[in-house]
Structure 1
Amino acid sequence: MMCHWRYVLDNLFGEVKSVSCIGTTHIPTRWDEAGKPYECTADDAAYATAELVGHNGENVIAQLNMSWATRVNRDDLVTFHVDGTHGSAVATLTGCKAQSRVNTPRPVWNPDVKNTMDFSDQWQDVPDTQVYDNGFKIQWEHFIRHVVENEPYKWTLPEGAKGVQLVEAALDSWKERRWVDVPPLKV
């Protein structure tokens, strides 16, 4: 998944500067279609922290959790939780909720008393302002226009190489148990 996070991070939040990653196999024994157990040879989870240079030059930190072993207890299979100075937003593949700083509740934590606040209720839906077409279709249309009409094309081979670069840095970090810098790609 790290290669996919590269274009998400770069385009939404800022260019990846460094990464720290660790992975593991949470479920070491699996069962095939006939019900026969076998030892897993692939890791099923990775956890990463990435340092980014934001679009305005600010320092941005992103946490990435990728797991085939987790059970979904959220609004969608993928969620993006973004905290900023003036509020927070949680976006899914098809929707977004926000909570401004001035509307953020201030609960009192007491471990001896069950919390009665419904934190999910305190977020507001961000209204859709337009209808979005299928993203894969849009990308194909851009590619066809690039080929037929010589329109500039954003998703180039160097952009794909940046994804591979992040994968390699994450694997180095995991193996060496340290932060790894991700230098700008030279093209």
Structure 2
Amino acid sequence: MIEARYLEIDGALGFVEIITPDNQPDTEAPTVLCLHTAGQSGVQWRRVASELASRGYRVIVPDLPGHGRSEPAVDGPVTSIVTFGDWLGKVLDALAVERPFVVGCSIGGKLTLELATRSSRPLAGAIAMAAEAGPGRVNVGGLRRELRGCRRAQPRRPHLPGHARLRRTYRARGEGAPDRHDAQA
């Protein structure tokens, strides 16, 4: 089952999808928090989230502030991993999640490391992909570049942020890149 919610966090609405196994109450299922990359949204996790739910996990997929369907933070763009981590802690509190597994890639991976180092909320496990463990700052220039790409949407041909990066990845692997519309499906 997929449930979509808006949570009010620090005066702004944060969007969260919760995917639960069909055959058991979500209170019995272990929870996995999936964190997306910069300039993207939780849609990146849709196939993984469904697969995890089919294996008995409750999956929580938030859109970070200013990403996807979440409103920007009231104080402006978030530029600190610690601030993002605090926001995620409030999401977990609002959903009464005690000890989740956390998985993230890129900025989501940095956030996974941030959450894993907080003694106030122990995790069941953490998987940080493509995440360097440097200082807790966001690459603001890169984030702004990604977010600008989100705003270039055309009415009938939406721009997929990072599509040029996706094309480069496919080219490096010797494959043809999917059409922009196929990449969104």
Which structure features the higher share of strand residues? 1
Structure possessing the higher radius of gyration over alpha carbons: 1
Judge same fold: TM > 0.5, yes or no. Answer: no
Which structure features the higher share of helix residues? 2
